[in-house]
Structure 1
């Protein structure tokens, strides 16, 4: 039999890059996609260093463009004859608060982090049904615990979690396994790509300035002790090879403890007391 084929989005850096290399190491024909394929050099170098460059197929895919998604998925099936798994990894961070951003800003966050997942999943599902495959989505602990100055990002990830939790039992009736993977803080370019100018943002925040300063200082400490992209990616790859993967997977002990606080907090007081402490 030919190697099983996995399509992974957002593979130019971070968790996506490491997942692509890890999946290839595990024997998967790995279709590594990204919006700008000129950024694929680091991925190709990592795959070659791991001795799996021959299992890597780099393709362009913009998750916010339905035509791009449909064309890529169709071309992958034409080229490899099958699609056994999808890892929805592409996403973008966002820091802001409702009073100081537009609704269009929030919509843009949703387009990448929620609707992008839906575009790829919808295009892939007929092929995953044919192979009794796996649909894996990289969410976040922010998809379980709402966090100050992350309203739009958490809203998108909450939506992903609700969608996939609802889809999972239905997909199982046609042989498709659905899993969400929840990293906590990960030391990758994801944070850099948020593009926030700390001092300018605090000045512009007006009455929210003191809270934003405290939040950014707390975040800097959290990301200084962050999990490596390779460690987080190992949890993603494990969902591809586990004979019975859980519907929800955390990538570290810290992430499990954080998510566990929410899942055991029926009235919400423990969560809001914790996150309020970030702003003091």
Structure 2
């Protein structure tokens, strides 16, 4: 029976338009994907399609990496260790197996004082289940996401702070591009910007609608402003002006030296003896 099911699933897979011959090898060999996309196990096609459109698919993270089981085993062993659907309390620890700092920050927020109201959100509240994309704060601080738990009016101040961060980052990226075009070093500034953005993400995972606006302004925006000022101080335009000033100064010094040398008497004439 198992052989027949396996043979039929292979036939479905072979003629299915969902899996082309140029698919990555790990996808072609994934028994979870073969069954769910070919109809052998119907009802999960949308999950697989969504996963293939997200960052986890592009990072070679497959079904079994989260759900357990063995995607390369035969059908009788495929479900061994399979976790299936996760409970609310299991999601953050699961994601935290890879996203360690984010989960630690988030759990700090959700496990405050015993008498404090608990945050019922989890990773999938903002990042969804299978179609996980690279996140921008501006895409997450919306009525769709924030409004699913509380009134979006509580998050409007967060949205304003996020807008300021996006504007500051855009200005810094423009300054870095100008420095690159001018042949100036940018590696140190790029590392600093990446560190600020990582800190920004951590602030978001540990903050609340009440605390985030202040934390973003006091930490993230302050760091971005400092970086922007340092780039402005060494901007290509300023370097050109300062270079012209220095060149003009040394040119003037050289001109004065030459004029004075010409004004000196001819020593050879003074020391020449008369016959």
TM-score, normalised to structure 1, is: 0.30
- Structure of greater Rg: 2
TM-score, normalised to structure 2, is: 0.31
Higher helix share: 2
